Amino acid sequence: MELLTARQRLLSARRVAVLTGAGISKASGIPTFRDAEGLWKDFNPLEYATPEAYARDPEKVWNWYAWRYRKAVEAEPNPAHRRLVELEARVGEGFLLVTQNVDGLHARAGSGRLVELHGNITRARCERCQKRFPLPPPEAFNPPPTCPACGGRARPDVVWFGELLPPGAFERAERAFVQAEVALVIGTSAEVEPAASLGRIAHLSGAYLIEINPTPTPLTRLADCALPLGAVEGMEALLGGDAPPLVEDPGGKP
């Protein structure tokens, strides 16, 4: 009954905000960070994902990101990514997808109303002039890249621990979650701030909150519907089969 209610609420909503974390890309072969087989099991984030680590040893950091970049390019969007593209098309302008992921799979799947809170691993950013530009294909990539505008050395265009989010990114995300009728949080530990606050913000603003995650998180107790599933299985349970038509309001508007 809870799942049916969640499905009906999601499919009738005109304002939907979605937050995704590493769990949604796991089925595409992209490692997560915090589970038993996650990246932080073998790699210390303080050695690879901070400005200080990059300043100490840029070659070490770039080699790690080049490896992750290659994995991201080799990966393909999975059915959970594609279901969110379908949901965006259904909801229209009232939809926003906010992701903590840097793998670029949401954009490759076709998501357009998208905020990449933590940047994108397929791009670099010049340390001198701040120009962003795409990395060459992995087979032709020899880090570090050089800025095409000024010739300066470039860093990965991602947000490291201790850095600010891209200007305006969180404000846009927060606004969507405040205004959402339904908030959907998928595959995130709900531990990394400020992204972790978005589900709570939606809940406090009166949204119907749906969580899809195989293990409990700090958000689970607040969720109106918590599906203890992986992202693909959860999205299929929530949106599988032919979606019913949008529920009409009393005024007869679709």
As annotated, the active-site residues are: 118
> How many Å apart are CA 176 and CA 135, to the nearest integer?
31
**Single-letter amino acid code for the residue at 37:** E
Whole-Å CA distances, 24 to 149, 181, 236:
35, 22, 13
Helix ranges (H only) for 13-104 are: 39-42, 45-48, 51-56, 58-74, 79-91
| Numbers of helices and strands, H then E, in the chain | 10, 9
In which order are the strands placed within the sheet that holds 225-227? 114-116, 95-99, 16-20, 182-186, 208-212, 225-227
Compute the distance between CA of residue 167 and CA of residue 158 in angstroms, rounded to an integer. 13
Q: Strand order of the sheet with strand 119-126?
A: 132-134, 119-126, 154-158
